[in-house]
Structures are given as structure tokens and as C-alpha cells.
Chains A and B, each alone.
Chain A
Amino acid sequence: MIFYEIKLDDLFQFKDFSIDFTYSRESKYSPISQAHKKFPNLKYKKFAVLLGANASGKTTLGKALCLVQNFLNGKDISNFSFANIKSAFEKGISKKISIETTFSTHSYMYYVNFKIEPKGITSEIWKRISLKNLSYIKHKQELTESKPIYKNDNFETISFVSYFLTSKENIEHRHEIQTSIGFIYSFSGSDNNYIDENIGLDITYLKKIIMSFDNSIEDVIKSKEVQGNKIIHFKNGHKEIILKNGKLSDETSSVLSTGTKEGIMLAYMIYALYRNAYHTLYIDEKMSHSHSEIEQQIIQILITLVDRIDGQVFVTSHNLDLLDLDIPNYNFMLFKKNRDGSITNVIEPEKLVKHQNRKLKKIVEEDIFSTAPTLDSLIDLHDSLSD
């Protein structure tokens, strides 16, 4: 599944927010062709590096996308631990959520617009057209002019599940969408270190990745006794089981650095992308403990892998060194919260910086987009400290 555009209103901090994952002209700086495999005129951002200060909305965007994908998967979206809508309504954070997105499956482009109120989903509009070898703008135009395949704002029963996708007569649509959805969202701060045994974790990937994090590791091998367990051999002769039944073992904390532990999960996500197990990867600050050069190298591996499929990789980070990556400006998105706490847009540098070859890093360091963290209260604190 590929996201082209998404509009969110009254969801978390998003107010009248929109984000565009398409671009108009291919850059000569792009290391890969960023277009649909079967329809090369249909261009979209296959990877996005999302940068911003703390609490600028990077993680929240991932949560919103995850919520939308769960909705499209026919799931009840009221009560996820990562995005509790019911609680948002109860606390008065949200009153009427509106979500609008354009996405494609293997053969179709869909437009869906749905509204959520405290009692449940109160409105759904669905449109669908066949994919063609045309630009996104042309697809969008056709979608706008097409009649809805489903429209209802008067549901008999109200729930937090898509009425359209769960109706018996729409089983074809449900099948079409669900077979093209495959996603993994790894949020910063969450302890979700589960590795799907159906996908597994290739020992070569694991070894090569975590050995770049920790040069005291001599080897990583599969356990002969227990299938799925992986054992690290350190150069000092110490051995430790790091993976037990698809989960990081408790012992890892005492023998591996935080960055190396993150490396294990990164190895899993990279391998899953290689296996084409997921089409959407959202890696949220999972390299915050990694050296900048390792982070850059891993992103380049992800870019190479996503080139093989019709999918999207999102990586969030605070690391401005990522702006040194030789990739087009349109693959960066800068996050900034408004002063009233809302998020209304992301900064798409390609729309503001006319010259593609002008170094984006310099522009961001000069804080032209005003995305730098606010240090004023820390400066005030420092100023007030007595000698």
C-alpha cells in the first residue's frame, strides 16, 4: 500500500493538517527511481526522512498513519495503546476527527474520507479508480470527478470499525486492500521488541548490523539447542543469548549498549523489508543511540531495499547530519509545532528551496524554516544561576 496524501483534522495535535507524499519532477540526486513499479509515471516518495525538534509531531504522525492503516485493515480503531481515540474524546482533546487519504493497492487508487465522533465512525466516503501509467495529479483529478463507490453518513449501527469494509457486499474491496497492507511501526520509547517468527531474523543481517555497532562482538550464531535463539560471542570469550523465542532476552541489557540493542531490531526491520514482508516501515527515532555515520549507512541500506518494492519507508530523527545524505530535498520533511501546540503542516523543503543543489543542511542550520528547538527557558535558567 502506498500513501499519496493524508489530511487530518482534530486528531491528536493535528488541526487542519495535510501531508503530501508525491513530488512533481524526479531529481537527478535520487539514488533510486521513486515511482510505481508497474506505472512509472505515478511518482511518490518511497522514503521520507522526518526531522524536527522534540515534541514536534514526528511520532504522532506515525501513530496517525498506523491508525489509518488499521482502519483500512478493518480493525476497531477506538482503543489502541499507541493512539487511544476514546480517551482523546473523553479528555476533550478531540471532538470530531476527520481523516482523508489517498492510497493505492496493487491495482487501484482509493480515496477515503471518514469522520469519527465520540460514539464512533459517523461518516464514510469511498472512491476508487484503476491505476494507470499517469501522474498522481491526473489520478487525483479522475478521483475527484468520479462518483463515490460508497457514501454514508447515516449508519444504522455506529462503531469504530469501517462499515464499508466490513459489509458482506464489499468483500472484494476488503480483500484488495488487505492483501496490499503490510506495515511495521516502531515507535520511540516503546518496548515492542517482538520479532515475527514467520519472517525471522537472518543471522547474516543480524551479525553485520550489530557488529558495526559493537566491535567487541566476534560472532553471532544460531543456537543448536533451541530454534530461533541467537547467541553472541564476544572477543573476550563471553557468550550470551540475545534472542529467545523471537524476543530480546533480559540478559541483553547487561551485555549490550542501548545502541546495539536498537541495532537488533533494525536488523529485523531491514530483513523484513528485504523479504518484502512489509510495505510500510515507520522507524521512529530507533537510531537515536546510534553513531551518526551508522544511521546514515542504515538509511542508505533501507533506500536500496525499498527500491525493490512498491512501498514506503519513514525514518524520524533529530540528527541534522542526515541532511548530508545525497538524496533529493523532497525526501526530507521538517516538523514544527505551532505556538498554540497544534500541527498544521510539515515543511517540504523542495517547495521552499528553489535550487535543488543548494545544500539543505546549511539552510536548516541557518534555521530558515525556524525548526530549531526552543532553548529560551534553558537560557533563562542558565542566566539566573548564581555564581
Chain B
Amino acid sequence: MVKYITLYEGECERSIIEWLKVKGYIFGRMYKQVLSDIKNINRSLNMINKKTVVTVVMDCDTIFLRESNVARLNQNIKWLLQNSKKLRIITQNKNLEDELVKGLGLKNLSILYQHFNSSNKTTYKQKLANLIPEKLEIKLADLDLNIFWATKILHQFYQQKDILILNCALSDIKRYTKQIKK
């Protein structure tokens, strides 16, 4: 049986993924793991095997700043490509707040904070992280899922580095998941 897992980086992303799971975009267990930080991936992510479809949601605002990060990220992506059934990487441009501003069609970050009844980034993060899917459904009713998590930054980066990597958008994932389930 095909098994799905999703790796994410922060509690706000977790809230969004929980909501997307209820909506049928993403399946499977979630693990809070930063791919560029994992030292022994074959040990720590040993739940992954050739029957596992892995989705990684990652920030791209700081990842490419340090060479050591990039080296480990490369190594871990290669391992995932070799050891999983499929690897899908959703790259955020630049981080979740920016994705939400874009996807909700808002003017700037302060309007996003207001949208979550917050006045600053800290309270916005706390509120978003604690929203259950039913409440998030109301808050994100206007989120355009063709725009949200649709950037393919990593793809461009790896093309520059001459490494082929399957990078995709959220809408691709839903289509692909449906195909596998059939």
C-alpha cells in the first residue's frame, strides 16, 4: 500500500497542511523536519521506503544563503529520490506569510495580520498555529490554491546547478495523488 508523508518546517505550515488534508490535497503523516538540517536521514526518516510518497514543504528565504545548508539539502534530496516512491517538493516564496499574502490577494503583511485578528507577526503566528481546520476553512475561504504554494523556485535553482529535481505546486500534488489512488 502506498504511504504518504509530509515534511514541514513550522507550526503555521502544520495548520495549513492539516486543513489541506481535510480538503483532500495532501495525505499522510506529518513530520516537522527541516530537510537541510537533517544529519542522518537514513536513520531519522527510516519510515520512508520505496512505497512512500514524500511531500516536502520548505521555505526558500534563507536556505540558499549557506553553502553547508545547500550541501546537506542536496544530499538529503538525493537520498529521498533514491529511497522513496515519489518526491514532491513545494517551495515557498519566500515563506508562508508571503505565500498567504499572494494567495489571498492581500496588499501586504500587515493586512494579513489583521486578517488573523492580529497586530503583529508574533500574535499572527500564534493564532494561525492554533487554528483547527474547520476555523481555517473560514479564514482561508478566498485562498486561491492555483497561486498559493505554486512557485517552482527550487526547480530553477537546481536547473542552475545542473541537477534534475521534480519540484511541483500544490495543484500538481492533488492531481498526482488522485492518479496514484486510482
Contact = CB atoms under 8 A, between A and B. Distances in A.
Interface of A: 338-340, 344-345, 352, 366-370, 372, 374-376, 379-380, 382-385, 387
Contact of B29 (A344, A372, A385): A372
A366 B31 contact: no
A367 B30 contact: yes
Contact of B132 (A344, A372, A376): A344
8 contacts: A344-B132, A366-B4, A366-B28, A368-B27, A369-B21, A383-B40, A383-B44, A384-B39
A94 B29 CA distance: 33
B: interface residue count bin:
20 to 34
Contacts of A375: 31
Nearest to A363: B27
B130 interface: yes
A382 B43 contact: yes
B129 interface: yes
Contacts of B129: 339-340
B44 A340 contact: no
Contact of B21 (A368, A383, A385): A368
Given A376-B31, A379-B31, A379-B45, A340 B130 contact: yes
Contacts of B40: 382-383, 385, 387
A383 B130 contact: no
Given A339-B11, A368-B27, A382 B44 contact: yes
Contact of A339 (B28, B31, B38, B130): B130
B145 interface: no
B22 A352 contact: yes
Nearest to B134: A345
Contact of A368 (B11, B15, B22, B45): B22
Nearest to B44: A383
B97 interface: no
Contacts of A366: 4, 27-28
A380 B40 CA distance: 10
Nearest to B4: A366
Interface in B9-48: 11, 14-15, 18, 21-22, 27-33, 38-41, 43-45
Given A352-B22, A367-B27, A384-B39, 7 more contacts: A345-B132, A366-B4, A367-B28, A369-B22, A382-B44, A383-B44, A385-B43
A344 B134 CA distance: 12
A339 to B, nearest CB: 5
Interface in B119-168: 126, 129-130, 132-133
A384 B38 CA distance: 9
Q: Which of B4, B29, B31 has the most CB of A within 10 A?
A: B29
Contacts of B18: 370
Interface in B92-136: 126, 129-130, 132-133
Contacts of B31: 375-376, 379
B29 A376 contact: no
Contacts of A384: 39
7 closest pairs, A vs B, by CB?
A383-B44, A376-B32, A370-B18, A367-B29, A382-B44, A379-B44, A340-B130
A177 B40 CA distance: 61
Nearest to A340: B130
Contact of A383 (B11, B22, B43, B132): B43
A64 B47 CA distance: 37
B32 A367 contact: no
A334 B40 CA distance: 33
Given A338-B130, A340-B130, A345-B132, A383 B38 contact: yes
A380 B32 CA distance: 9
A384 B37 CA distance: 10
Interface in B38-73: 38-41, 43-45
B46 to A, nearest CB: 8
Contacts of A367: 21, 27-30
Nearest to A351: B134
A367 B15 CA distance: 14
Contacts of A370: 18, 21, 30, 133
A340 B132 CA distance: 11
Contacts of B126: 340
Contacts of B15: 339
A379 B33 contact: yes
Nearest to A341: B130
